[in-house]
Amino acid sequence: MAALADLQNSPLLLSALMDSDPRLALANAIAWLDPATLTKGAADPRYIEFDYDAEDHLAVGLHVCRECFPTVYAGAIQLQWQGAGERAIERFILEGMGAYLVVPPQDLEELRYGPSVDFCGLYLHTLEPEDADNPPLDQLLPVFGLFGLSAGGDEPDEVQSTAFMTAKVLVQSLTTRREPVYGDLANLLTWLFSFSGNTAIDYTEEAFWENGYDSAEWTLHDVALIDDINREAHEHVTSAFRAMNALESDPDLHRAFRRNIKTVTNAIHKYQQQKGTDNARPHSQRGYPDAATFTRYARWPERP
Amino acid sequence: MFTSLDSQGLVNCLSHIPPVELQAVRLLHDARLTVSGGWFPTVPPDCIAQATQELITYTQACAALLDKLKYLAPIIIPTLEIPEWPL
């Protein structure tokens, strides 16, 4: 009986023993709350980079949470200690991260590629004919049409460059206007022609990777940066759709928009003719003046 | 201006550093008398989160310090005798 009592008391005695030694107490605490330090050697200064490809997706999820979302990491580790299944822990991690991120991951597998950027760039040459009937392109393609562009981007370089220049001129002419609808219209144009300066707005996912850019890392700095980019992109697209709705519901605005596109495009063509543009030279080598040269051709009506 | 430090001075200096009080160690200590069943205590999630965050920060600080120690310049100790050297 005494042996049985000793056996029953052994965990208590052992924990008391560990508690009395600072190093053992620390080891016990780490095993309880931060076992990833022990299993992955994260405390070792030689442990420079986590190998996202070598680890299974749950290990990746725990690592990411340890680096950037310690509250989620703490909860996931406690779930592990309670014997929760892998799927339950994965779900907990995804939901926990979702509370912090503007674009939450849908699957732990995605975490290998860094924080998600919600790419919403529009590249006409990558569009399929069937895309034209689906939102949001069913609304946006008619606007491209006003610039002489269509899905597929088959127009000559000269037409595309002039359309881009026209859009830049219109955006510049709108910067002096204080009416909210003109801010929305500028956002619509910078989205359509990919010159907003925001990565998520200006690139499709394919274009981003093809350009060879590095993806963001799972660090507090990069997570905050990507969140800012995604938040700004969502606001930008929302604003652009407000402009679309305004163009559809305000005939005077739509008329001014069409007229300005036409006037500025004509002014650019005229400028090229007067400057004696050498058509024998490749289009990319022909100089374009600054957009400010043409802003006086764009006139916008007063709006509330 | 700092000019020198002998080994006894270093011992005195280090021995005056108070022990780090980690919330995780304290939680384990406090719960030891009341724990029943599992090896680790049951603690409210808020406490767990705080203690985990503190432990991660502490571990990272220790790792960073260890990394810095690697790059300390070597010091010549002319008075130190190493009997094994002639061997």
pLDDT in tens, B29-69: 887 655 555 678 888 889 999 999 999 999 889 888 888 88
pTM: 0.79
Residue B61 lies in a domain: yes
CB contact under 8 A, B39 and A74: no
Spell out, as residue ranges, where chain A has pLDDT lower than 70: 1, 39-49, 54, 276-289
Residues of A in contact with B25 (CB under 8 A): 25-26, 28-29
Cα–Cα dist A170/A172, whole Å: 5
User: Per the domain annotation, does B9 fall within a domain?
Assistant: no
CB distance A75–B49 less than 8 Å? Answer: yes
Residue B19 forms part of a structural domain: no
Could you tell me where the DSSP H helices lie in A82-192?
Answer: 86-98, 137-146, 157-174, 180-192
Q: What is the extent of the structural domain holding B48?
A: 42-72
> What pLDDT digit, counting tens, does each position of A83-104 carry?
999 999 999 999 999 999 999 9
* B18 belongs to a structural domain: no
Cβ contact (<8 Å) for A74 and B52? yes
**b/e A174-200 (16+ beta carbons within 10 angstroms → b):** beeeeeebbbbbbbbbbbbbbebebbb
Classify residue B51: in a domain, yes or no: yes
Supply the angle between the helices A180-192 and A137-146 in degrees, to the nearest 10. Answer: 90
What are the percentages of helix, strand and coil residues in chain A, rounded to 5? 65, 0, 35
Query: Does B35 sit within 8 Å of A15, measured CB to CB?
Result: yes
Q: For all residues of chain A together, what is the average pLDDT?
A: 86
In a domain, B2, yes or no: no
Could you please report the per-residue DSSP string of A51-76?
-TTTS-HHHHHHHHHHHH-HHHHHHH
Judged against a pLDDT cut of 90, whether residue B1 lies above it is answered with no
H or E element at residue B6: none
B1-40 residues touching A, CB cutoff 8 A: 19, 22, 24-25, 27-29, 32, 35, 38-40
Q: Report whether A192 contacts A144 (CB < 8 A).
A: yes
On whether residue B50 sits in a domain, the answer given is yes
In this predicted structure, what is the pLDDT of residue A257?
95
Residue B37 falls within a domain, yes or no? no
How many structural domains are present in chain B? 1
